[in-house]
């Protein structure tokens, strides 16, 4: 089963998958710490958006609605 499937389901991934996810997260943290001084304000803002889980849930829901054709034209929203 793919990692994405676990993230979108209520199932808990097996130990080997959890371990791999943890290793990847640790590597990402080390990379960010190493590159912290090289990040532009735009990079920092992008990362903060990507790390905001509530925002990512809202974005995922919005993309699903768009894919299902449940969108309103901008003219109506304004």
Give the whole-angstrom CA distance, residue 27 versus residue 33. Answer: 10
Q: For residues 27 and 8, which has the higher predicted lDDT (pLDDT)?
A: 27
Residue 20 burial (CB count, 10 A):
13
Q: Is residue 9 very low, low, confident or very high in pLDDT (cuts 50, 70, 90)?
A: low
What is the structure's pLDDT at 2? Answer: 47
Q: For residues 5 and 10, which has the higher predicted lDDT (pLDDT)?
A: 10
What is the structure's pLDDT at 7? Answer: 53
What is the structure's pLDDT at 5? Answer: 52
What is the structure's pLDDT at 67? Answer: 86
pTM for the model stands at 0.44
Distances from the Cα of 33 to the Cαs of 12, 41, 70, in angstroms?
Answer: 29, 15, 40
Give the whole-angstrom CA distance, residue 78 versus residue 36. Answer: 39
């Amino acid at each position: 089963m793919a990692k994405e499937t676990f993230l979108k389901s209520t199932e808990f991934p097996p130990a080997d998958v959890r371990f791999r996810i943890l290793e990847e997260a640790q590597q990402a943290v080390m990379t960010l710490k190493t590159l912290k001084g090289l990040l532009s304000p735009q990079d920092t803002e992008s990362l903060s958006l990507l790390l905001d889980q509530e925002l990512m849930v809202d974005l995922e829901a919005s993309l699903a609605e768009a894919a299902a054709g449940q969108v309103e034209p901008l003219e109506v929203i304004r």
